[in-house]
Homo-oligomer: A and B are copies of this chain.
């Protein structure tokens, strides 16, 4: 076929013996352009297969209609749902998404931010990489007047809109449910404590214990890297379970901050012939698809990631449509839903009074 030059407004203008101004106005259906001209323009658009050049428009208008989205990894169902949620909201508004992955690394995260800024995105929606402990790079975004929305893993004290899941309450609900099932020696697989969501989950766990007069036992709390390759987290859960059950205090439940760690626990418990949920009840976090497939079905917390994506997109739109200066960042929080499956339903213990 050879090189086919793309049709421009100027091409159409020449064809019709008018100027580019007129064609441009006709295309945007400007009221003071004659119907005849508009009709002629529209016909040529079809005939010459004209596609507006958004890059030129963006340069001229100073608005790209592109939103940058940073996810730590696109491999996880959770983040795929976030993306879908964002897209649902912004697509109708003419925005396109550029998706970047930080791979949980701070330097990649910073490179992503720079790349998005260079590309002149209209806003950035991001979740912080696990490695990141200093959030100052994100301030750069706000300093350039680019709206910033953080979701799920947010830094503290960043001047940005945030959408979070109420991790404290999610953990609290899970542990309370375990206590109601009669469990009293509840272990916790905790995530890295420099990350707020894992702090909150640990705190929710502790609060539920103390509210039910169960003493904290640090032997039952194990911290581990729960953000990692799925297989590695699974392995970690497996190992932690073996550790737990070779100790003095044997737990009767595990509340884990990761579904994948529980999958490893299930494997270990089956090997040790410990019955679930009769001897040990289990609850995971995130309600990954695999938790409904494994046997026994794994109770877990549904963080409603698609809804989280919806909200993140809405916060972006709100900010970009606002003329408040300086903009006061809005915060939204979602309540996670406890999905009860057989891994934590101790039917025959239900009647038993708990402490």
Contact = CB atoms under 8 A, between A and B. Distances in A.
Interface residues of A, number: 52
Given A75-B77, A87-B101, A145 B4 contact: yes
Interface string A196-238: 0000000000000000000000000000000000100000000
Contacts of A230: 289
In this complex, the member of A58, A142, A325, A326 whose beta carbon has the largest number of chain B beta carbons within 10 angstroms is A58
Nearest to A64: B55
Contacts of A58: 55
A99 interface: yes
A1 to B, nearest CB: 5
A101 B84 contact: yes
A115 interface: yes
Given A54-B120, A97-B99, A120-B54, A263 B3 contact: no
A223 to B, nearest CB: 24
A244 to B, nearest CB: 21
B115 A96 contact: yes
A144 B294 contact: no
A80 B74 contact: yes
Contacts of A294: 293-295
A83 B76 CA distance: 12
A99 to B, nearest CB: 5
Interface SS of A by simple majority: mixed
Interface string A38-74: 0000000000010111111011000010100000011
A144 B84 contact: no
Kindly report how many copies of this chain are found in the complex they form together: 2
A189 to B, nearest CB: 17
In this complex, the member of A52, A56, A80 whose beta carbon has the largest number of chain B beta carbons within 10 angstroms is A80
A279 interface: no
Interface string A116-156: 01111000000000000000000010111100000000000
Contacts of A3: 145, 325
A81 interface: yes
A179 interface: no
A51 B290 contact: no
A261 to B, nearest CB: 13
A325 B3 CA distance: 8
A113 to B, nearest CB: 10
A118 B56 contact: no
A117 B7 CA distance: 12
A322 to B, nearest CB: 14
Contacts of A289: 230, 289-290
A6 interface: yes
Interface of A: 1-4, 6, 49, 51-56, 58-59, 64, 66, 73-77, 80-81, 83-84, 87, 96-101, 114-115, 117-120, 140, 142-145, 230, 263, 289-290, 293-295, 325-326
Given A54-B119, A289-B289, 12 more contacts: A3-B145, A52-B118, A53-B59, A74-B80, A74-B84, A75-B77, A96-B100, A98-B99, A99-B99, A290-B290, A293-B294, A295-B295
14 contacts: A1-B142, A4-B145, A51-B117, A51-B118, A51-B144, A55-B119, A55-B120, A74-B74, A74-B83, A74-B84, A76-B80, A97-B98, A98-B99, A230-B289
